[in-house]
Amino acid sequence: LQLQWIKGRRSSSKVFGSFWVTRFVTGNVIGAGILVAPKGVLKYSSMNVGLSLCIWAARVLSAVMTSLCSAEIGTTFPCSGANVDFLKRCFGNPVFSETLDELVSAARTSRQPSPASRRVISIQPLYSSCSAPNLPKKCLALAILWVVGILNSRGGKEITWLQTASTALKVAVLGLISLSGGVLLVRGRKENVGGFQNAFAAEFPEATQYIEAVFQGYFAYSGGGCIIFIAGDETQTDNSKCILTALPLVTVLYLLVNSSYLTLLTPREILSSDAVVVMWSDRVIPSLTRVIPFAISASSFSNLLANIFESSRTTYIAGQEGQLPLLFNMLNIPFSPFMSVLLLVTVASVGVVSTNLIDLIKYLYFASSIWSLLSMIGILKPRYQKPNLPRPYKVFLPSPLATMATNLCTVLIPLVKSPRIHYVYTCLFILSGLLFYIPLVYFKLKLVWFEKMACYLQLLSNICIPNVSVEQMSEVETAKK
């Protein structure tokens, strides 16, 4: 009876309203980077304090434009993992490679600064006299990863309150840092305000360094596009208001936190530290030196949770569109794409265990920029081909154009400034999706052994394929026309 209940659903349960979406965007944008190593912008700004703060403030404009473009995609194609559905309708089936990138991104997720810093910082207080060994770090990372997988397979209810608690913790930690720095700045001690009296006194960087500084800030706001992945889990929400509420809040916190760091630490000290917040707490609140790392670990836990949550929706919709086996287009009792979550967590676990994972994973941001560029082209293409397509939210035209320019720079500048063979490998990896697409999707090659295994896994996992209601089917057909 429970499985028959699932068959009336096209996607996971719609449990997220506007307030939750705002919290989700806020928590997803705020990562451990601002707490651990906010030195990329300062480094490429030639340690110019005033310029680095201006870059932090200016980056929000690009982040808002990118997120609003994602909001149009998510509302025009209201399904989970709308990026796959959207790119397929704009460019055809060969965008199967985007799904493959999303799978390997799970391995990248397990090794990005946020999760990596989490597992290092949280275990380092136990090894005060030496560096933490690799084995405990990997075991902790695997434990966290599989806990995240279990929570994602439990459906949206658990994720809702976990994201709420984590976002509150992040804002509280950033608020504490900001308030402490503000108090010291107002007290006006000479060593604290000296760096702000001549904020632009340092030399200005060259044009190439300035662009590098801008791109360093790009990743601090990159979580705002998560709306495109969770559109099918939302109720009737105004995504534009959620974005315009969350990102300015994050920007204010980022500016205050950077000001607090610069109030207590010199630019050279920030550049020399791998955990700026730990150095900051040693000088301001020494009693919290051991507490802060665990607070970072708990707060950044939600970033990994959100990454798996988003990527599983992409894999789910790829199974629904026939670009992945039908097994991944199945829901369990809590309306979660269980097999998609299991696949992503397994791939990510390989990324944690492997000591020498393919260097390609480091360059998937390059691939992400390519897909983002295609998404912006996909927004403009239907404007002329299908002007009557229902669009609950229509982004202002300069936004996708400006985002296209940004992504084009992200793709071209690394190739021109520091060409490496890894970028060729990345492009070949994107095209390698055709090796799977041509036999399995285009020619519909059936693997008997896989179908038997899929049947066994379906029974073992207690999952089934959801049907599409008449109302949902009409929405899909309207989008196709």
Question: Do residues 27 and 246 lie in contact, with contact meaning Cβ atoms separated by under 8 Å?
Answer: no
**The pTM is what?**
0.76
Torsion, Cα of 206, 207, 208, 212 (10° steps): 100
Torsion, Cα of 108, 112, 115, 120 (10° steps): 120
Given this model, what pLDDT does residue 362 score?
52
Question: Do residues 119 and 144 lie in contact, with contact meaning Cβ atoms separated by under 8 Å?
Answer: yes
Please name the residue that has the structure tokens 């983002």: 372
Nearest to 141 by CA among 297, 323, 372: 297
Report how far residue 301's alpha carbon sits from residue 163's, in angstroms, rounded to the nearest whole number. 9
Read off the DSSP letter of residue 466. Answer: P
Given this model, what pLDDT does residue 475 score?
44
SS3 463: coil
What are the boundaries of each domain within the chain? 2-480
Taking only the tens of pLDDT, the chain with its 481 residues reads: 344 444 444 445 556 677 778 888 888 888 755 665 577 788 878 778 788 888 888 777 878 888 888 888 877 777 666 677 777 777 766 555 555 555 555 544 444 444 444 444 566 666 666 666 777 777 887 888 888 888 888 877 777 788 888 888 888 888 888 888 888 877 766 555 656 666 677 777 776 677 777 767 776 777 777 777 776 666 666 677 888 888 888 888 888 888 888 888 888 888 877 667 778 888 888 877 777 777 777 776 777 888 888 788 878 877 777 777 888 888 887 778 888 888 888 877 876 766 444 444 455 666 677 777 888 888 888 888 888 888 888 888 888 888 888 778 777 777 777 777 777 777 777 777 777 777 877 788 888 888 888 888 888 888 887 765 444 444 444 444 5
Query: Is residue 194 exposed (0-12), middle (13-18) or buried (19+ Cβ within 10 Å)?
Result: exposed
For the chain, helix (H) and strand (E) counts, in that order, are 23, 0
Given this model, what pLDDT does residue 479 score?
43
Question: Do residues 38 and 258 lie in contact, with contact meaning Cβ atoms separated by under 8 Å?
Answer: yes
Please name the residue that has the structure tokens 């912006």: 376
Angle at 463 between CA 324 and CA 330, to 5 degrees: 30
Query: Is residue 32 exposed (0-12), middle (13-18) or buried (19+ Cβ within 10 Å)?
Result: buried
Positive or negative torsion for Cα 218, 222, 228, 234: negative
Given this model, what pLDDT does residue 409 score?
78
Report how far residue 223's alpha carbon sits from residue 40's, in angstroms, rounded to the nearest whole number. 18
Fold of 2-480: Amino acid/polyamine transporter I (1.20.1740)
Report how far residue 138's alpha carbon sits from residue 61's, in angstroms, rounded to the nearest whole number. 38
Residue 301 CA to chain centroid, in angstroms? 13
